[in-house]
Structure 1
Amino acid sequence: MNTIILDNLKVLTHDNIPVITTELLANLYGTEIIRIQQNYNRNNNRFIEGKHFFKITGECLNNLRLSFSESQISAKTRSLMLWTERGAARHAKMLETDKAWDVFEQLEDCYFNSAKVNNPQPRPEAPELLNDNDTRNLAHLVWSMANGFRFERAWTQGIWYALRHATGIASPQHFEVNQIAIIAEECRRIYGITDTLKSAIFDVEKQAIRRLLRHKDDAETVLREMQQLLEASTHEHDSIMTQSLERWQQANVNRFLQRN
């Protein structure tokens, strides 16, 4: 059997895996069908179904017979053995003839791998990344959330980390357009947190000025109360989640969300 004839063979597949019938394998290897069957029966512990072969019966066999009428599967056939590339290699090894090995090498190139060549798997489309305008809008959002804190740089880094954690995008990879809604929702959540903390810090500073500098209250008592006020603000997560944003904050989020 030469390569040209092998090139013209119709590739039979099962579950998208190229396979070959016992009859065709025997014909190509220059042996009798009974030899292939005997080699399997005597060494069936060395053959694994799904890896070296598929045994087709019942409705699956009927469908295969209709789909591959050119394979001339007899109507009397009750079960059909289909050999994979590994199964064909195992039979070539058991026959141990030059012809069997020569043909198997050709089958590797022209038959078992032809389905991969002729039917390449489509590559998934690369996701659309945020454009420059999206990135500017997002950077402005991050700045507006971090601005006003004493440790603004640390807040900025923390916010970017939270956004990457929400989207699953590690640095320095770019955010994707299909993640805009996720990013916008996370920005709303962070706005609620930063607003609550900024408001608490403002109240602490205002009371400190009034009570310590103007009224000259006991410093230890005032500072302890201020500490309690700040701690209380960190436990207001439920109110933060239901808190509505300021109009300008919502406008910032919408600008990013709508890609304006």
Structure 2
Amino acid sequence: MTLWTDGLRFAFGTLTALPVTVRRWDREAARTGMLCAPVAGLAVGVLAAVTGLLLLALGAGPLLAAVATAAVPAVLTRGLHLDGLADTADGLGSGKPAEDALRVMKQSDIGPFGVITLLFVLLAQVAALSQAYGSSWTRGALAAVVSATAARLALTLAARVDVPPARPEGLGAAVAGTVPVRAALLTAAAVTVPAAGAGALLGTYGVLGSVLAVLLACAAAELLLRHCTRRFGGVTGDVFGALEETAATTALVVFCLFS
């Protein structure tokens, strides 16, 4: 029980800006923490959905509710994952060897590839959420919750034992290779089944949309993970941020298309 408590603290303390104290920073805590990552995503998604629903109840339109819903995860992570997405885009777009690309990613500024990537990712998230809220409040709220949870599930899968770190230090090195493949797959099932149950609120297509959102979000993140691993020699904290935002955006778009 203590290990799982420490794991939850690790997940919330590293993946959100919520006031949680991380008591342990060893590999065992990191493994449990990454297995608990979808729980942190669920909490972020619920808070985002509540914000969107509150604005709708106060008379706001779907677009404003969508902007607020997309903003909540950014606020609750202090923009860490968006920053990681931008840095990864700059590193990949630089066309430089791995060591130089990693140096580009560590720089504090954001280059043109990062700016363009952030722009289109945020536009896609807001557009998808606006469409979902415009269809029904329930669909919008479910899209927010499912996408946030699936996005953190992608991090669990990326922390599996066959994925090496690109650097010997940093958050990427702390969590890379900590999660057994079997445990990662069980966690994926533990997320997909409840997502399907929640999607049932929207009928048969809701179940389909929720399941596809989770699966395709993880598939998109996996493709990016493999590319980054080949390109950089492993993963970094920035890559984890990019995987989270890629999975969240994919989940939102898929949910709107198929639910």
Q: TM-score, normalised by structure 2?
A: 0.23
Which structure is higher in helix share?
2
Q: Which has the higher contact order (CA 8 A, sep 6+)?
A: 2
Which structure is higher in strand share?
1
